[in-house]
Amino acid sequence: MSFIEVLGEHTVYVNPLPHLRSRQGKFPCIVQLPSDELLCLFELGEAFESVDSETYVTRSSDMGRNWTLQGPLYDMKKLPVPYRVSETMKPTLLRDGTLIAVGYRYDRSNPELPIGNPNGGLLPGENTVCFSYDDGRTWSIPEVIKTGYPEFLETSGSCIETQSGDLLAIGCPMFLWDGSNPSGQTGVLLRSKDKGKTWDCRNRYFTLPGDYVSPWEARLCEMQPGRIVTIVWAYDNRQKKHLANHVTVSRDNGYKWSNPIDTGHLGQASNLMWLGDERLLTIHAHRAGDVGLYVRLIDFENDKWKMLSEEVIWGKAKAQDTSKNIIDQFANLRFGQPSLLRLSNGEILATFWCIEDGLGKIKTIRLRLN
């Protein structure tokens, strides 16, 4: 018997009128509210890198089987900037009931430019944070996080609230438009001791000699109090090749970190959640070789990565050509950003985006551990 059972697959968002307009969904994240309602933030726009991309809210009152689109996260016309932005934000429910969303936005003042420059650079950007105090029905206008880096950080995942009360987020300095990277490729930890109002971004959670391995799509979770584990999509910028997923671990609430640990899993965007004791459940997007979404049961006793079992829960996508320029790879992604959420009924919800029939969809797969 498999260690995990697939209970069903559901669509969170798909363009209801594709013959009328192009609307592509990507980059989702779901939280469960105290009422048991599910709230999902995701990015919606007419194309993968379109200027009109912004964060939308959708909700479910039946554990994710059916969804109602609420609308944009906020009114972008109220942003105190003189240009259009495109952005992505990920939510976290804090213990006091506040919702916080962290992410980043791109400067789209030139609507003719894509996000990625063929030289490897990206449009200018800023890290942002916003809040909701009414279960995600209204949100504050995002404020800029002053990171102290010339590059913005790829904070593509949610922050976590640790047992100590600190908020932790992680990200990698992204290349500037001209292809330069003054800070090097390293993993930056963002810490807030005041529930997201201010952030200290000086600590590093991932570094390899030379600072040329990118820790992209980084995610983190807390196991026992103070024991923080991260997982990253590692990319070698010198050899232009994808490495196996790497993890790092801290035993002091994220102040000191282990050296990166090679998991041996040749995944890209990945995520993880604590199951209790020394067990982790991980999910990985494999876009080369045996393509699909892989869920793995991990024994992490003594901070040693040991896979106990694995299961492919979704595998309908075509293999991606990973020999391309990395900017071309980004522009041609077909599925990614998987996450795991334990629901109040004991099920686990795997969430991801994918392109099927030319449509960018947000999907979930309900799972049960055996």
Question: Can you give the CATH number for the domain in which 352 is found?
Answer: 2.120.10.10
| pLDDT tens track, the chain, 370 positions | 789 999 999 999 999 999 999 999 999 999 999 999 999 999 999 999 999 999 999 999 999 999 999 999 999 999 999 999 999 999 999 999 999 999 999 999 999 999 999 999 999 999 999 999 999 999 999 999 999 999 999 999 999 999 999 999 999 999 999 999 999 999 999 999 999 999 999 999 999 999 999 999 999 999 999 999 999 999 999 999 999 999 999 999 999 999 999 999 999 999 999 999 999 999 999 998 889 999 999 999 999 999 999 999 998 544 444 555 545 544 445 899 999 999 999 999 999 999 999 999 999 999 999 9
Distance CA 12, CA 21 (A): 18
User: Which are the contacts of 132, defined by CB distance < 8 A and separation ≥ 6?
Assistant: 98, 99, 101, 138, 139, 140
Q: What is the pLDDT of residues 68-112, one digit of tens each?
A: 999 999 999 999 999 999 999 999 999 999 999 999 999 999 999
Q: What is the pLDDT of residue 328?
A: 52
Q: Please give the structure tokens belonging to residue 176.
A: 């500037």
Tally of structural domains, the chain: 1
Residue-range definition of the domain harbouring residue 299:
4-369
CA 180 from centre of chain? 24
Phi, psi of 260 (to 5 degrees): -60, 140
**Residue indicated by tokens 């209801």:** 16
What are 75's two structure tokens?
Answer: 């009114």
Among residues 298, 196, 197, 202, the alpha carbon closest in space to that of 247 is found at 298
> 304: exposed, middle or buried (C-beta count within 10 Å: 0-12, 13-18, 19+)?
exposed
CB of 295 closer than 8 Å to CB of 279: no
